[in-house]
Homo-oligomer: A and B are copies of this chain.
């Protein structure tokens, strides 16, 4: 038996990396869903060890050799033995991951992992006390390490430090594109918020009601099933903050939360996570053991969750179909019209808390965080000045009065995780969602009727074909361009909001 060729050697290495990532993902899921309280110490150690091993294997000479061998034979015009037709695309993704990992010294990986654990604890305590000062020293250290990491990655040609971090979440995206985009967005969103949020709030049909946990749960599962989420290849659990983690396309794990007084909360969380989950289940199974079988960007991932949550779940057709299904579970809602529920699901109100924000104000929250992150990484904003800058931004962007640290700069977990550069992907997701849904409406005749009939599989299949199946084979914007005919822009999103609120609020 001859020695395995370079392609097969590489495949074994890639499969090992994916298996390690999968194991890490299962441990992270368990940590947030089932782990008993006193398991936290050991879990932190397990995750740190596996992250360290992943970085070690990604930077190892054995992978470098296998990759170089496969690249060389491909450059010579000879596809490596056993390699598939898209071998070049696999190699490009693997090269990207390896080059990025190898730039970061193992010491920095370990220091970051340890600091993240400590920062998370400090953030929780500081939020409890509503005292940013308790978290600030940790954020300062995280900022220093992330800056060091960004320098290690290397600042892209003509870019800035922030870009090096952004690249880890949204490959190819740059501050130079985001800044004008946010300026344009906030330019037209602010007056829209001004108009909509000052109108008298619609009647809340749920006030004072009690909505049985189990009935909400059953409704969530029913929704997932009708979206075409395969529960043989995934599951739904409960957690405080809903999330999706996927060790494998055959093992996609969603969570939702259930509040007995707020029945819409579980519905929108389930639609949101279900959107993420469909993306994960729709990734190319031929690439489940190599880096192509992953989602290319966080913005594109978020486009799928937001599309199901908002373009579908906050549409009138959806409520025409869903109002009777909801009334079956909650007889006290039997008298409510689809229009009334649709209106309740689309209330616009200024709130200082991002995760409670409606579709119109949401991106203003993201704009604020982007501004502050940029200030931190450019050295224009010192960490201890963040609460003041936060309140200034809240006033300027949302017209809100100053808030406590707990309701302000400590509300999000992201910085405690060390995630700097992540927030903009939420807005990219919102914009891509509007673009993709507009294209789906063009391509799928009768889509509104399908939604009203609870028939979601046509839309799922369209998304699978246009988005999910590409994995990391194409840049996110190229996927959107091919699906919609246009690159990233805010026009579809503006048209979507205009149409919705013209109909809801003709005044």
The CA of A415 and the CA of B232, in the complex, are separated in Å by 28
Among A208-233, those with CB < 8 Å from B are 230-233
Please tell me if the beta carbons of B231 and A36 are within 8 angstroms of each other in the complex. yes
With the chains together, A53 CA to B247 CA distance in Å?
19
Interface core residue of A37, A39, A248 (most chain B CB under 10 Å) = A39
Question: Per a CB cutoff under 8 Å, which of B22, B46, B233 touches A46?
Answer: B22
A234 sits at the interface (CB 8 A): yes
Q: A35-B251, A234-B36, A235-B34 are contacts. A20–B41 as well, Cβ < 8 Å?
A: no
CA A231 to CA B35, docked complex, whole Å = 10
Q: What are the interface flags for A300-328 relative to B under an 8 Å C-beta threshold, 1 for contact and 0 otherwise?
A: 00000000000000000000000000000
Q: Which of B36, B50, B232 contacts A38 (CB 8 A)?
A: B232
Q: Would you call A36 and B247 a contact (CB within 8 A)?
A: no
Q: Does A355 contact B (CB under 8 A)?
A: no
Most chain B CB within 10 A, of A27, A42, A43, is at A42
Query: B30 near A46 (CB under 8 angstroms)?
Result: no
Q: How large is the interface on A (under 10, 10 to 19, 20 to 34, 35 or more residues)?
A: 35 or more
* A381 at interface by CB-CB < 8 Å: no
Question: Which of B46, B48, B53 touches A53 (beta carbons < 8 Å)?
Answer: B53
Select which of B36, B234, B251 is within 8 A of A232 by beta carbon.
B36
Asked if B34 and A46 make an inter-chain contact with CB atoms under 8 angstroms apart, the answer reads no
Which chain A residues in 1-56 approach chain B with CB under 8 Å? 15-16, 18-20, 22-23, 26-27, 30, 34-43, 45-46, 48-50, 53
**Which residues from chain B contact A39 at a C-beta distance below 8 Å?**
233, 247-248, 250-251
A45 touches B19 (CB 8 A): yes
Whether A288 is near chain B, meaning CB under 8 Å from some CB there, is: yes
Which one of B50, B232, B248 contacts A37 once the chains associate, using CB atoms below 8 Å? Answer: B232
- Beyond A233-B38, A233-B39, is A45–B250 a contact (Cβ under 8 Å)? no
CA distance A37 to B48 in the complex (A): 28
Task: Kindly provide the distance from the CB of A246 to the nearest chain B CB, expressed in whole angstroms.
Answer: 10
Complex Cα gap A42–B39 (Å)? 25
Interchain CB contact under 8 A, B26 and A250: no
Q: Could you tell me if B23 and A250 are in contact, using CB atoms closer than 8 angstroms? A: no
Q: What residues of chain B lie closer than 8 Å to A15, measured between beta carbons? A: 45, 49
Point out which of A34, A46, A48 has the most chain B C-beta atoms below 10 A from its C-beta: A46
**Given A251-B42, A251-B43, does the pair A233, B36 have CB atoms closer than 8 Å?**
yes
Starting from the known contacts A20-B46, A39-B248, A43-B248, 16 additional A-B residue pairs (CB-CB under 8 Å) come to A16-B49, A18-B45, A19-B46, A19-B48, A19-B49, A19-B50, A22-B42, A23-B27, A36-B231, A38-B232, A38-B233, A38-B250, A40-B250, A41-B250, A42-B248, A53-B53
Which 10 residue pairs of A and B lie closest in terms of their CB atoms, listed nearest first?
A: A39-B251, A42-B248, A38-B250, A19-B49, A38-B233, A23-B46, A19-B45, A19-B46, A37-B232, A22-B46
